[in-house]
């Protein structure tokens, strides 16, 4: 039983990171109907931004840690907006495929630029927060970093839901998502809304990057590829375009992966995890929380 | 303007990518005249196992410098042409093919990781270019063919000595094994450990797997913890070994609970990434810079002088020895012709190097002593030497 609960904790803390990255994919898809493949590399830039900021800030203090988190989120928000402005906006009236290929190009550009500027060798990410390990009941262990992942993920998820549901800009986002032409007819500036979406999504990726680096303190310019891929799958699993769905998909993927990894079949983790996903999508093609939309031709 | 802009940005992006990937380091000296003998080296100079490649490469450089300072071989200087495989699978085959066909090297030195040596070996064999691996320990590497050599011990020996060490020094009877299924080295060493360990009455209480590049090992470690082992054996490379140890400590397997591994742990990065968690971990390797032999101390001094006071690890020592063995063979062969050079390397006998005497047997492997190292107060510490 202890082992089961421990695996559940491990799975949830891994899943919470997937969820944070998946939110960025899902938000951009919700508004623009395209997959921003560069998102996983913004996640990497977030971790590196944290690494460089932390060099100038007192280590292992709560305030310093939060400052690094905020700084990295700000840098990535700006990066996200710049990427959208330079690479995606000029292609907005073209077919979706053009933007998709450009996104892959931006992703490769960030990875290779990362190797060029940060160096291709893994770097050791510092402990930003004082690390403590808590033991509950009969041997159940949870580190303060794992807790930080939960807390930050929940805070960000709730504030994201608040922004999308209750604020003016959130209403505008939903309007653009529903019908961009109609939205601009009623006086919404689509460019501003889309920039905001990219900024917000990239800030979440940065938070994910820092939390990931805190738990697995070896960072390199290609670190985003695998978590990014899994987060993308998580977003599809939960129903792409749906915010709670992305969070649910991330957590589910983290838990499935952890339980397979802890079993005798750890060699086939990805195979089993993805087979389960295919099964779920066979029965719910739009994802767990997604709604099927009939596309009119 | 808008149209221009929309073409400009993707073009710029593609151009930048090409320029970044295009600027790989190539020959250090490109003097291709008749006065040099070109030797090729492939190493993981960047990427996940960059520490291996860099140490090995620096050792090789030091050896080549020394050989050239003493007049070179056959009246010619040796020019080292080296390429980086970025620790990426598939890359080694490409660059070794390039070294042979374009740079026309007479022999190849490399690699540390067995998986990457296995990629290059068939190409060297096919082209009749001798290849000396400084520190690939998996037996399969030299089984590729009669042109492939190594100057280090092999995993059957290493696995056995680790098994004995676990039993006798760590007093461990129940051991959990965590293997990297993506690495031939790790899979091989795990097998060669399990056989003698269970034959001597030990039990493997948990046998878990991961893939190189993974970052989260908590799931496997939680399952291992539930099996209640005396120690965990991690036959992998240093990046993962450090993360595994750290996560094992987080799950409550605190020091003095021992984790141990093989020569894949040998890198300063092990302590940098793992930090305090690495206390009371052990690994076996090829040499210790603390050894008192004058040969080792002389090597450490020269290496420190050349590379800003860095202390050479086993990979550096083997990189040095691999180049020295090759130079010695070229001298004895009197030619750089592939088959004749091969025969000369194959008859290497009692060559005294930094990592001990090198004698290549019929299977083109060396038999050498191993040392066990531990981490104490954030530093590597020599424990014992085990002779074959």
How far is Cα A50 from Cα A207, in angstroms, rounded to an integer? 9
The answer as to whether B238 is a domain residue is yes
Residue B242 and residue B301 in one domain = no
Q: Look at residue A77 and give its three-state secondary structure.
A: helix
A215 and B6: CB-CB below 8 Å? no
Q: Which residues of B touch A51 (CB under 8 A)?
A: none
- Give the distance from residue B50's alpha carbon to the nearest chain A alpha carbon, in angstroms: 6
Q: Which helix (H) or strand (E) holds B6?
A: helix B2-22
B344 contact partners, CB below 8 Å, separation of at least 6: B329, B330, B332, B333
The answer for residues whose C-beta is within 8 angstroms of residue B12's C-beta and 6 or more apart is none
Which of A110, A140, A218 to substitute to test the interface with B, most B CBs within 10 Å?
A: A218
DSSP letter assigned to residue A143: E
Among B221, B228, B230, B226, CA closest to B170? B230
**Residue B360, both tokens:** 């290549």
Which of A94, A105, A139 comes nearest B252 by C-beta?
Answer: A139
| B183 neighbourhood in chain A, CB within 8 Å | none
d(CA B353, CA B287): 11
* Contact criterion met (CB below 8 Å) for B43 and B108: no
Which chain A residues are Cβ-neighbours of B47 within 8 angstroms? 120-121, 220
C-alpha span between A137 and A133 (Å, rounded) = 13
What value, to the nearest 5°, has the Cα angle with vertex B5 and ends B2 and B11? 150
Which tokens sit at B215?
A: 């970052």
CA triplet A289, A290, A296: central angle to 5 degrees? 165
Residue B360 Cα, gap to closest chain A Cα (Å): 34
Taking the Cβ of residue A229 and every Cβ of chain B, the question of whether any pair is shorter than 8 Å is answered with no
Say if residue B22 is in the same domain as residue B149: yes
B14 with B137, same domain? yes
**The total number of structural domains that make up chain B:** 2
CA distance A135 to chain B (A): 8
Question: B219 and A258 in contact by Cβ < 8 A?
Answer: yes
Q: To the nearest whole angstrom, how far is the Cα of B160 from the nearest Cα of chain A?
A: 25
Residue B387 within any structural domain of the chain:
no
Contact between B252 and A257 using a beta-carbon 8 Å cutoff: no
Complex ipTM above 0.90? no
Whether residues A124 and B226 touch (CB distance < 8 A) is answered with: no
- Radius of gyration of chain B, Cα coordinates, nearest whole angstrom: 22
**Inter-chain CB proximity A2 and B5 less than 8 Å:** no
Tokens of B105: 């090297």
Q: Would you say residue B171 lies in a domain? A: yes
Identify the bridge partners of residue B150 per DSSP, sorted by sequence position.
Answer: B133
Look-up: residue for tokens 């390429």?
Answer: B83
Q: In chain A, where does DSSP find H-type helix?
A: 2-32, 39-54, 62-83, 96-117, 144-166, 168-178, 180-185, 190-215, 225-238, 243-261, 269-283
Cβ atoms B238, B269 nearer than 8 A:
yes
B216, B243, B257, B378: best to mutate for the A interface, most A CBs within 10 A: B216
Report the 10 Å Cβ neighbour count for A60: 13
Pick from A257, A9, A132, A147: nearest CA to B249: A132
Residue A4: its chain B contacts at CB < 8 A?
Answer: none
Domain end residue (candidates: B238, B254, B285): B285
Helix (H, G, I), strand (E, B) or coil at A250: helix
Tokens read off for B370: 């191993």
Which two tokens mark A134?
Answer: 């808590």
pLDDT at A131: 77
Q: Is residue B375 part of a domain?
A: no
Give φ, ψ of B281 to 5 degrees.
-115, 155
pLDDT of residue A84: 92
When scoring B3, B205, B218, B272 by the number of chain A Cβ atoms within 10 A, the one with the most, hence best to mutate, is: B218
| Residue of A116, A141, A216 with shortest CB distance to B252 | A141
pLDDT in tens, chain B (388 residues): 455 555 555 555 555 555 544 444 444 444 445 788 899 999 998 888 888 898 999 999 999 998 988 888 888 888 899 999 988 888 999 999 999 999 889 999 989 999 899 999 999 999 989 999 999 999 889 989 889 999 998 999 899 999 989 988 888 899 999 999 988 899 999 999 999 999 988 899 989 999 888 888 989 999 999 899 999 999 999 989 999 999 999 888 888 899 999 999 988 889 988 888 899 999 999 988 888 888 888 889 889 989 888 888 889 999 999 999 999 888 888 888 888 899 889 888 888 888 888 888 888 988 888 899 999 888 898 888 888 7
CB contact under 8 A, A7 and B222: yes
Answer whether residue B386 is part of any domain.
no
User: ∠B47-A215-A237 over CA atoms, to 5°?
Assistant: 90
Residue A107: closest C-alpha in chain B: B13
The A residues from 246 to 265 touching B (CB cutoff 8 Å) are 257-263
For the CA atoms of B161, B167, B168, B170, the dihedral, rounded to the nearest 10 degrees, stands at 100
Measured between beta carbons, which residues in chain B are less than 8 angstroms from residue A2? 226
- Are the C-beta atoms of residues A157 and A21 closer than 8 Å to each other? no
Please list the ranges in chain A whose pLDDT falls under 50.
Answer: none
B152: closest CA among B137, B172, B174?
A: B137
Cα–Cα distance between B378 and A7 in angstroms, integer? 30
What pLDDT digit, counting tens, does each position of B39-93 carry?
A: 999 999 888 888 889 899 999 999 999 898 888 888 888 889 999 998 888 899 9
Binary contact (B251, A141; C-beta < 8 A)? yes
- Nearest Cβ partner for B46 among A120, A135, A262: A120
Nearest CB among B20, B220, B269 relative to A115 is that of B20
Instruction: Judge if B357 and B253 occupy the same domain.
Output: no
With beta carbons under 8 A apart, name residues in chain B contacting A260. 219
User: CB distance B219–A262 less than 8 Å?
Assistant: yes
Q: Is 0.95 topped by the overall pTM? A: no
Same domain, B26 and B130: yes
Distance CA B36, CA B32 (A): 7
Query: In which residue are the tokens 């320029």 written?
Result: B19
The DSSP annotation for A164-193 comes to HHHSHHHHHHHHHHH-HHHHHHTT--HHHH
| Other beta carbons less than 10 A from residue A225's beta carbon | 16
Q: Given an 8 Å threshold on Cβ–Cβ distance, is A216 in contact with B215?
A: yes
Are the beta carbons of A141 and B13 separated by less than 8 Å?
no
φ/ψ region of B84 (left if φ > 0, alpha if ψ in -120 to 50, else beta) reads beta
Q: Where residue B55 sits, what CATH number does that domain have?
A: 3.40.50.2300
Domain coverage including residue B363? 3-153+292-368
Question: Which pLDDT score is estimated for B31?
Answer: 42
Q: Which residues of chain A are within 8 Å of residue B49 when distances are taken between CB atoms?
A: none
Q: Are residues B11 and B135 in the same domain?
A: yes
- Among residues B233, B259, B285, the one where a domain terminates is B285
| Residue B53: closest C-alpha in chain A | A121
Widest Cα–Cα separation across chain B: 78
Residue B373 lies in a domain: no
Q: Distance between CA A216 and CA A178 in Å, rounded? A: 39
For residues B233 and B281, the answer to whether their CB atoms sit within 8 Å is no
Which of these, B229, B120, B151, B141, lies nearest to B189 by C-alpha position? B141
Domain end marker among B285, B301, B329: B285
What's the Cα-to-Cα distance from A121 to each of A89, A159, A263, B48, B176, rounded to whole Å?
A: 34, 36, 32, 6, 30
Q: Is residue B98 part of a domain?
A: yes
* Alpha-carbon gap: B53 to the closest alpha carbon of chain A (Å): 11
For residue A91, the chain B residues in CB contact (below 8 A) are 6
d(CA B154, CA B363) in angstroms, rounded, equals 11
**Chain A residues touching B20 at Cβ < 8 A:** 112-113, 115-116
**Is residue B382 assigned to a domain?**
no
Contacts of B206 (CB under 8 A, 6+ apart): B176, B177, B223, B224, B227, B229
* A74 neighbors A237 (Cβ within 8 angstroms): no
For residues B207 and B227, give the distance between their C-alpha atoms in angstroms, rounded to a whole number: 10
Say if residue B10 is in the same domain as residue B149.
yes
**pLDDT for the residue B15:** 53
Is A128 an interface residue toward B (CB < 8 Å)? no
SS (H, E, C) B60-115: HHHHHHHHHHCCCECCEEEEEEEEECCCCCCHHHHHHHHHHHCCCCCEEECCCCHH
């Amino acid at each position: 039983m202890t082992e089961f609960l421990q695996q559940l904790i491990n799975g949830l803390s891994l899943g919470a990171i997937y969820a944070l990255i998946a939110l960025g994919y899902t938000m951009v898809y919700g508004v623009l109907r395209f997959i921003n493949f560069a998102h996983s590399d913004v996640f990497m830039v977030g971790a590196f931004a944290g690494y460089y900021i932390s060099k100038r800030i007192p280590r292992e203090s709560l305030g310093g840690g939060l400052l690094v988190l905020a700084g990295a989120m700000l840098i990535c928000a700006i990066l996200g907006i710049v990427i959208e402005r330079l690479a995606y906006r000029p292609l907005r009236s073209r077919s979706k495929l053009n933007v998709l290929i450009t996104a892959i190009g931006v992703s490769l550009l960030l990875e290779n630029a990362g190797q060029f500027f940060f160096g291709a060798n893994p770097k050791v990410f510092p402990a930003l927060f004082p690390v403590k390990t808590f033991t509950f009941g009969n041997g159940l262990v949870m580190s303060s970093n794992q807790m930080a992942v939960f807390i930050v993920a929940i805070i960000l998820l709730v504030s994201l839901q608040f922004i999308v549901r209750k604020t003016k800009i959130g209403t505008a986002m939903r309007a653009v998502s529903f019908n961009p032409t109609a939205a601009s007819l009623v006086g919404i500036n689509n460019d501003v809304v889309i920039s905001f979406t990219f900024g917000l999504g990239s800030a979440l990726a940065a938070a994910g990057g820092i939390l990931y680096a805190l738990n697995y303190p070896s960072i390199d310019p290609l670190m985003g590829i695998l978590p990014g891929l899994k987060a993308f799958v998580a977003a599809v699993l939960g129903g792409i375009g749906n915010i709670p769905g992305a969070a649910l998909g991330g957590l589910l993927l983290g838990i499935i992966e952890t339980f397979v990894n802890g079993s005798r079949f750890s060699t086939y983790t990805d195979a089993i995890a993805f087979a389960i996903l295919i099964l779920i999508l066979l029965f719910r093609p739009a994802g767990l929380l997604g709604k099927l939309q009939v596309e009119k031709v | 303007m808008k149209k221009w802009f929309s073409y400009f940005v993707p073009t710029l992006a593609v151009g930048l990518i090409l320029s970044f990937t295009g600027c790989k380091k190539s020959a250090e000296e490109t003097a291709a005249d008749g006065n040099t003998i070109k030797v090729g080296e492939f190493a993981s100079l960047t990427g996940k196992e960059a520490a291996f490649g860099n140490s090995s490469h620096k050792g090789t450089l030091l050896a080549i410098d020394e050989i050239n300072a003493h007049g070179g071989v056959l009246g010619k200087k040796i020019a080292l042409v080296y390429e980086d495989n970025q620790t990426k699978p598939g890359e080694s085959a490409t660059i070794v093919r390039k070294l042979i066909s374009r740079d026309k090297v007479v022999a190849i030195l490399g690699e540390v990781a067995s998986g990457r040596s296995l990629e290059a070996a068939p190409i060297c064999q096919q082209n009749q270019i001798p290849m000396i691996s400084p520190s690939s320990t998996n037996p399969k590497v030299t089984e590729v063919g009669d042109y492939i050599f190594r100057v280090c011990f092999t995993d059957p020996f290493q696995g056995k000595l680790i098994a004995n060490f676990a039993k006798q020094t760590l007093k461990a009877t129940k051991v959990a094994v965590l293997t990297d299924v993506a690495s031939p080295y790790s899979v091989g060493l795990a097998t060669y450990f399990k056989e003698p360990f269970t034959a001597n009455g030990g039990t493997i209480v948990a046998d878990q797997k991961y893939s190189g590049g993974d970052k989260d090992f908590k799931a496997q470690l939680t399952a291992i913890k539930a099996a209640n082992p005396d120690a965990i054996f991690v036959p992998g490379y240093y990046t993962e070994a450090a993360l595994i140890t750290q996560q094992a400590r987080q799950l409550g397997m605190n020091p003095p609970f021992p984790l141990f591994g093989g020569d894949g742990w040998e890198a300063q990065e092990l302590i940098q990434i793992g930090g305090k968690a690495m206390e009371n971990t052990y690994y076996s390797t090829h040499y210790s810079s603390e050894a008192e032999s004058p040969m080792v101390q002389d090597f450490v001094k020269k290496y420190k002088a050349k590379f800003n006071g860095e202390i050479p690890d086993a990979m550096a020592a083997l990189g040095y020895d691999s180049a020295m063995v090759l130079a010695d063979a070229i001298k004895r062969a009197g030619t750089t012709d592939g088959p004749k050079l091969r025969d000369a390397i194959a008859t290497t006998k009692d060559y005294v190097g930094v990592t001990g005497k090198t004698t290549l047997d019929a299977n083109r492997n060396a038999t050498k002593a191993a040392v066990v190292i531990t981490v104490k107060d954030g530093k590597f510490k020599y424990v014992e030497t085990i002779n074959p």
